[in-house]
């Protein structure tokens, strides 16, 4: 029961409507699959519009084949993608890399914030010492 799908055009990004046509599924199915298959992470731009890259369209076709033609459940297809195929392993590694990059960016921004706060505290301590000396001088003059 193999369905012949149209060839993929040589484009960098595809809208959800284009992907739906190219993969023979409805847009709401693609949105649902994004929730179920963590490897699917289309880029979102203005107004939360999804833009899929070429490798994601190929993965959607693979998911479609696993679910509709080979009869896997969602869980089975997810396991098949993660364990069995190079594309699944690549997607899993990309996901891990993206998560690591996000964690690193968060850690770096927190470190930068701590350094700024530390610098501000040191500056405040220096200003406080200067103010204390000036107040002591004024006190000595007044009394």
The CATH number of residue 79's host domain is 1.10.1660.10
- What is the domain count for the chain? 1
Q: Is residue 138 part of a domain?
A: no
| Placement of tokens 């530390």 in the chain | 118
pLDDT at res. 92: 57
Q: Is residue 20 part of a domain?
A: yes
pLDDT at res. 66: 92
Q: Is residue 60 part of a domain?
A: yes
Greater model confidence, 1 or 122: 122
* Residue 72 CB contacts under 8 Å (≥ 6 apart), including other chains: 66, 80
Greater model confidence, 104 or 7: 7
Q: Is residue 105 part of a domain?
A: no
Q: Is residue 1 part of a domain?
A: yes
Residue 42 dihedral angles phi and psi, to the nearest 5°: -65, 150
Q: Is residue 90 helix, strand or coil?
A: helix
* Residue 36 CB contacts under 8 Å (≥ 6 apart), including other chains: 74, 78
The pTM score is: 0.57
Q: Is residue 101 part of a domain?
A: no
Q: Is residue 122 part of a domain?
A: no
List, in sequence order, every residue forming a beta bridge with 45; answer none if it has no partner: 49
């Amino acid at each position: 029961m193999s369905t012949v799908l149209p060839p993929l055009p040589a484009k960098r990004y595809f809208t959800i409507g284009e992907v739906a046509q190219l993969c023979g599924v409805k847009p709401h199915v693609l949105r649902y699959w994004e929730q179920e298959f963590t490897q699917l992470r289309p880029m979102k731009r203005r107004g939360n519009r999804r833009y899929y890259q070429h490798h994601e369209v190929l993965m959607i076709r693979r998911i479609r084949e696993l679910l509709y033609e080979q009869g896997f459940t969602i869980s089975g297809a997810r396991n098949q993608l993660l364990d069995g195929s190079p594309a699944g392993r690549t997607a899993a590694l990309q996901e891990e890399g993206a998560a690591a990059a996000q964690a690193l960016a968060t850690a770096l921004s927190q470190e930068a914030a701590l350094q700024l706060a530390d610098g501000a505290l040191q500056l405040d301590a220096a200003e406080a010492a200067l103010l204390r000396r000036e107040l002591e001088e004024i006190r000595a003059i007044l009394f």
